[in-house]
Amino acid sequence: MSVNKRLIFMIAMVLMLFATSEVLLPIMISKGVNQGMMNKTGSDSVTSKLTKWPAALMLGGRFDTIDITAHHAKIDKIIFSEMSIGLTNAQLDIGKLITNRLVDLQSVDRIQITAVIDQEELARYLNQTVKGVKNATVVITSEQIKASSTFVLGGFANVAVSLEGRIISDGQKIKFVTERFLINNMVAGKIGGSLLTEIPLVDLNKLPFHVNVRDIVMGNGNVTIYLDNS
């Protein structure tokens, strides 16, 4: 084989390896991110997309963007129907990622998280975590959240109770704040005391990354929480 042919062959091989790495490396590394985030969020399904050019630099743990979507992510005691996570200019511990499927964030410029809680999940949460509440149903609109349930009063009397309120953030806590109590559709005093006045939902310290609440938006059937690291 002549020198020119060998040179052309070598160049072709390098280009082929480069092209292959551009396609395969993001796929291979994303599988590690998916598993690592499933462990961090308790999600039953995670997908991710990673970008870096050239892709070979991913082997150093550096990424221009990492976009992650987790379905049914359990954070603290709440299950988010969907959680979208965006990381910009992120550095991961690539050794931990490859060997143990651990997502260890070393540094990042920007974190943006969008997390959705639906009304069925909020009802489940109230039934399972709030003492005295049974058979809760929840309706979420853009104006308010209404939770209707049977409340065990004093350990022996069952009364029909409705709570009307909203979800707010208080420091690193997200909670449901009751604005009106109703018994049989009549406004009543706060029969449940602090137990039903402020119901804690999520401790942000349990999230996979350190973020703060930017906004909480109630819609038809769900609440969307926007978080970032600003």
200: amino acid identity, one letter? P
- pLDDT of 155 reads 61
On the question of pLDDT at 121 being above 60, the answer is yes
Q: Residue ranges of the alpha helices (H) in the chain?
A: 3-41, 94-100, 119-129, 194-197
- Domain presence at residue 222: yes
Structure tokens at 105: 């964030």
Using the 3D structure, point to which of 88, 108, 128 is the last residue of a domain. Answer: 108
In this structure, of 92-96, 153-157, 209-213, the range with the lowest mean pLDDT score is 153-157
Measured CA to CA, the distance from residue 76 to residue 203 in angstroms comes to: 7
Cβ contacts of 227 within 8 Å, gap of 6 or more:
111, 112, 113, 114, 115, 204, 207, 211, 212, 213, 214
Is there a contact between 64 and 52 (Cβ–Cβ < 8 Å)? yes
Is 126 in the same domain as 224? Answer: yes
DSSP secondary structure string, 4-69?
HHHHHHHHHHHHHHHHHHHHHHHHHHHHHHHHHHHHHH--SEEEEEEE-SSGGGGGGTEEEEEEEE
What span, in angstroms and rounded, lies between the C-alpha atoms of 90 and 209?
12
- Whether 151 maps to a domain, the answer reads yes
HSE-CB for 128 with a 13 A CA cutoff: 10
Q: Is residue 114 part of a domain?
A: no
Mean pLDDT of the chain: 86
Residues 123 and 224 in one domain: yes
Q: Judge if 104 and 123 occupy the same domain.
A: no
Residue that finishes a domain, picked among 69, 89, 108: 108
What does the pLDDT look like over 19-36, one tens digit per residue?
455 656 788 899 999 999
Q: Are residues 98 and 127 in the same domain?
A: no
Same-domain status, 131 and 198: yes
Domain match, 213 and 130 both: yes
- Does this model's pTM top 0.75? My answer is yes
Q: 113 lies in a domain? A: no
Residue 91's DSSP bridge partners are 62, 107
With 60 as the cut, is the pLDDT of residue 190 above it?
no
Q: Do residue 130 and residue 219 come from a single domain?
A: yes
Chain segment 35-45, per-residue pLDDT in tens:
999 999 999 89
Which residues form the domain of 97?
A: 3-108
Give 165's Cβ-side CA count (13 Å radius): 20
**For a pLDDT cut of 70, what percent of the chain falls above it?**
82
Same structural domain for residues 104 and 169?
A: no
Shared domain check, 83 and 11: yes
- Which residue, of 79, 108, 137, is where some domain finishes? 108
Q: Length of the chain, please?
A: 230
Both 77 and 125 in one domain: the answer is no
Structural domains in the chain (count): 2
In whole angstroms, how far apart are CA 191 and each of 87, 129, 188, 214? 45, 18, 8, 32
pLDDT for 154: 63
Q: Do you find a cis peptide bond into 54, omega within 30 degrees of 0?
A: yes
* CA-wise closest residue to 96 among 35, 156, 53, 24: 35
- Specify if 203 maps to a domain: yes
Q: Which residues pair with 113 in a beta bridge?
A: 85, 227
Shared-domain flag, residues 180 and 104: no
- Indicate whether 192 pLDDT > 50: no
Same domain, 140 and 196: yes
pLDDT tens digit string along 82-114?
A: 999 999 999 999 999 989 999 999 999 999 999
